[in-house]
Amino acid sequence: MTAQAAPIPVRSSSPFDQAALLRLVGGHAPRTHNPGWEWELILTACDDALARFAGSATGTRARIAVGEALWWVACANEFLRTRVSTSTSKQYTADLVTTDSGRCLAGLVLLRNRMGHQLAVGMYETVADEKQLELKIVHEDGSVETDIVTVRAEAKRRLDLQGGLVLGAYHFPPFEELPEPDELHLRGYPDSQDAYKSAVAGHLVGETLTYAIRCLRATLQFDRDGTKVHARLNRAGVVP
């Protein structure tokens, strides 16, 4: 995933009315926590899980870290859907898949829904073996020509739960290899399935999660200045 981070397309009130503002910051005063703390908690947890993945020494630890990251990314998606968006769930997803950033988010959420309970099948390693062979060809005139033949064999290997890791080699699997969905997820979600196939399947695990988290930060940010809190929402051009 090499695309530049971009905001997630979210359809919200324009301009914000009082109800929308209260929903964004989490309810009426008096409050027991600062406005925006939930969003920052989610994104910080995403960063922490990604850091644990990068520091993993075994497949088990990598699997746990990616599982945590997927759940927190799904929490961020739910925050945008219920606290920022004014769309129906169907329209919200339809807006998501109009951009690369939205497709990545929708695909990762589908991945969490489909295999959060079976993360061992959620990553595979590309294993490659390359050999070279010199072949000398003697022509009728006595001249010798040397050909160099390079043979490269690649294979997909499931995550080794205890062995050492080469984290840059781990990818998310093809859609067809995901576990069967829960009965509640059997109907619908064609947009999310297409999003997974185009923006997540086959992509590097670390790069894809990093891209998604950067896009979430580009979408919504809370800044505190003393007793003042500034919320900045970039809707990526999507308006009611």
Percentage with pLDDT > 90 across the chain: 28
Residue 108 has pLDDT above 90, yes or no: yes
pLDDT at 180: 76
pTM tops 0.85, yes or no: no
Any domain includes 239: no
Encoded tokens for 64: 């746990």
Range of the domain at 65: 18-123+166-233
- Nearest CA to 78 out of 97, 98, 92 is that of 92
> pLDDT by residue (tens digit) across 27-43?
665 566 677 888 999 99
Whether residue 199 lies inside any domain: the answer is yes
Asked whether residue 23 is domain-assigned, the answer is yes
Position 75 in a domain: yes
pLDDT digits over 125-171, tens only? Answer: 565 667 777 767 777 788 888 877 777 665 555 555 444 445 567 88
Q: What does the block give as tokens for 102?
A: 């939205």
Domain count, the chain: 1
Most confident of 53-57, 104-108, 128-132, 148-152: 104-108
Summary mean pLDDT of the chain: 79
pLDDT band (50, 70, 90) for residue 2: low
SS3 of residue 239 by DSSP: coil
- Count of C-beta atoms within a 10 Å radius of residue 20: 16
Q: Can you give the pLDDT at residue 170? A: 81
In one letter, which amino acid is 231? A
Asked whether residue 160 is assigned to any structural domain, the reply reads no
- Residue 73 in contact with residue 109, Cβ under 8 Å? yes
**Residue 143, in any domain of the structure:** no
For 135, the enclosing helix (H) or strand (E) is: strand 124-138
Distance CA 36, CA 230 (A): 9
Is there a domain that residue 240 lies in?
A: no
Could you report the per-residue pLDDT of 174-199, keeping only the tens digit for each?
888 887 776 666 555 688 899 999 99
The residues pairing with 230 across neighbouring beta strands, listed in sequence order, are 223
Distance CA 43, CA 75 (A): 9
User: What is the mean predicted confidence (pLDDT) over 19-33?
Assistant: 71
Burial label for 123, CB within 10 Å (0-12, 13-18, 19+), is: buried
Q: Is pLDDT above 80 for 238?
A: no
Residue 94 belongs to a domain: yes
Residue 20's contacts (CB-CB under 8 Å, 6 or more residues apart) are 12, 13, 86
